Structure 1
């Protein structure tokens, strides 16, 4: 079940923490909730911004190309 020697492999879990596009919106929303003592009506604008950001990042809007390791395997097969 191990990898072959000389094969291409990228640990995709290592790069999972690099992009966090909605982090600012989430922090703004949580800070607003803290200052307004959990009153969601007072933080409606921040909540809408967070929801819009999360919807724009959803996987259904993106075309899936498979994992990067699958693509690397395809490239190495063509090289042989």
Structure 2
């Protein structure tokens, strides 16, 4: 149960910061909410920026060529 010993593998969680495109907008919106006692009427600008960023991300799909680990497995099969 698990991966075979000696295989190539990259932990994708280590590269998690690369996949968080709207983090800055979300943090600014949450900070604004915290400063204004959860009154989102005063944080309209930050909310619009966050919504625009999230809407822009929904059109992007997964890369068609697959994950890095899939390609590493393919390489190791050809090596044998």
TM-score (norm 1): 0.69
Q: Which residue of 2 aligns with 1:68?
A: 68
Distance 1:46 1:3 in 2: 44
Alignment length, in residue pairs? Answer: 78
2:14 pairs with 1:14: yes
Q: Which residue of 2 aligns with 1:4?
A: 4
Structure 1 gap segments, 5+ residues each: none
Distance 1:52 1:78 in 2: 44
Q: Which residue of 1 aligns with 2:51?
A: 51
TM-score (norm 2): 0.69
Shift of 1:47: 0.4
Structure 2 gap segments, 5+ residues each: none
Note the aligned Cα RMSD (angstroms): 2.2
Distance 1:38 1:4, change over 3 A: closer
Shift of 1:4: 2.8
Distance 1:5 1:41 in 2: 55
Distance 1:30 1:4 in 2: 43
Distance 1:63 1:15 in 2: 16
